[in-house]
Amino acid sequence: MSQHIVPQRTYIFVFLGLIGLTMLTTGVAYIDLGPLNTVAALVIAFSKMLLVVLFFMHLRHSGGLIRVVLLAGFFWLALLIGLTMSDYRTRSWTPAPDSWSSTAPPTHP
Amino acid sequence: MTEAEAHAQPAGLAHQFGDLEQQQSAATLGIWVFLVTEIMFFGGLFASYAIYRWLYFAAFEGGSHVLDIRLGATNTMVLLASSLTMALSVRSAQTGNRKATVIFLIATMILGGIFLGIKGVEYNQKFVEHIVPGLDWSPEGTVLSRLAPGGLEHAQIYFFFYFAMTGLHALHMIIGMGLLLWLVVRAHKGAFTASYFAPVEVVGLYWHFVDIVWIFLFPLLYLIGGRY
């Protein structure tokens, strides 16, 4: 488990990979890819995160319990962002009728 | 078994654990659960960032344009280097190399300090250019003035996000630096051995997490401006 000792050069290769990806993402920001710029930036950031989690944080040699905890965290984060965005992006699909306007005087029977 | 033997236990083992390996597993699980709560803590900011960037896309691009991409990229590399030294420090602790553990911990602190220093230079620039939302907001002299009417107000929201997210991140860095200092003292005194190094491992996991937050902050804040 966490007693597994990773060779020093593995950490150095991972670090060089991270630096390379940082230069790549910075370079891509100067090229016009339209909406793909954001996609590329996020894909690269996600790859960097995987490198850090798997090697620096030893997830590669961690037990199943820790993987489940981390996956649960990502699941709830996906719910947080996914459901919130789906709410905001679909509000305009069904405009509220004018009669629902908050400025209309309340009607009590 | 005599009374003395019953209480003889390895250095660093708390009495509620059977052995050091069980204690280390519990500590590692504990910090991962804490890091998941941190994911949700920062996640709230990332979710609101996503909403406002979608609503005020042009203003967010304009705001991002004001940031210095070179300082941001440099800071990213400094922080990645600090993660490397942190990982090497944990490895040195695993192999029972006390001197290397201390040296790598100090290197991590120095790199963290450089990061915070560059961050301070950037914050200072924002005050010089009067683009601090709420406190000192008169961005007419910057490229932000090219935004469409109403865009300045929306750009102010971008800078609220900039300061809230990088500020919360910097606070985590400062806490991490304090933890590193505590580790340096303990490691120097020889508190850690090849079988007991859980505190180094736990602080290392926290430090890498803070690094990951920055890995996402850098593209989302600095790189969305379209520099072409």
Q: What is the distance in angstroms between the Cα of A93 and the nearest Cα belonging to chain B?
A: 16
Number of domains in chain B: 1
CATH of residue B160 = 1.20.120.80
Residue-wise pLDDT for A8-46, tens only, equals: 999 999 999 999 999 999 999 999 888 899 999 999 999
Beta bridge partners of B132: B136
ipTM, two decimals: 0.90
Q: Percent helix, strand and coil across chain B, each rounded to 5?
A: 80, 0, 20
Q: Among residues 16-55 of chain B, which lie with CB inside 8 Å of chain A? A: 21, 24-25, 28-29, 32-33, 35-36, 39-40, 43-44, 46-47, 50-51, 54-55
User: Would you state the pLDDT for residue A2?
Assistant: 47
Give percent above pLDDT 90 in chain B: 75
Are B20 and B10 within 8 A, CB to CB? yes
Strand, coil or helix: B137: strand
Average pLDDT for B183-209:
95
Domain assignment of residue B3, yes or no: no
User: Would you state the pLDDT for residue B12?
Assistant: 81
Quick check: B12 contacting A, CB < 8 Å? no
First to last CA, chain A: 70
Strand, coil or helix: B131: strand
**CA distance readout (Å), B144 to B50, B54, B85, B102, B227:** 21, 18, 39, 46, 14
**Which residues, 6+ apart, have CB-to-CB distance to B200 below 8 Å?**
B89, B90, B93, B101, B105, B183, B187, B192
pLDDT band at B40 (very low <50, low <70, confident <90, very high): very high
Q: How many whole angstroms separate alpha carbon A95 and alpha carbon B6?
A: 73
Q: What is the distance in angstroms between the Cα of B9 and the nearest Cα belonging to chain A?
A: 20
Cβ-based neighbour number of residue B127 at 10 Å:
11
Domain assignment of residue B212, yes or no: yes
Higher pLDDT, A104 or B134: B134
Q: What is the distance in angstroms between the Cα of B145 and the nearest Cα belonging to chain A?
A: 22
Domain assignment of residue B93, yes or no: yes
Domain assignment of residue B14, yes or no: no
Are B223 and B144 within 8 A, CB to CB? no
Q: Of A49, A62, A50, A47, which is closest to residue A6 (Cα–Cα)?
A: A62
Give percent above pLDDT 90 in chain A: 66
Strand, coil or helix: B96: coil
- Give me chain B's average pLDDT, please: 92
- Residue B186's domain comprises 20-225
Domain assignment of residue B10, yes or no: no
- Report the predicted TM-score, pTM, of the whole model to 2 decimal places: 0.90
Ranking A34-43, A64-73, B146-155 by mean pLDDT, the lowest is: B146-155
Helix (H) or strand (E) holding A96: none
Domain assignment of residue B8, yes or no: no
Domain assignment of residue B13, yes or no: no
| AA identity, residue A76 | W
Ranking A24-38, A83-97, B57-71 by mean pLDDT, the lowest is: A83-97
Nearest chain A residue to B194 by CA distance is A3
The partner residue sitting opposite A5, judged by closest CB among B36, B44, B91, is B91
Domain assignment of residue B109, yes or no: yes
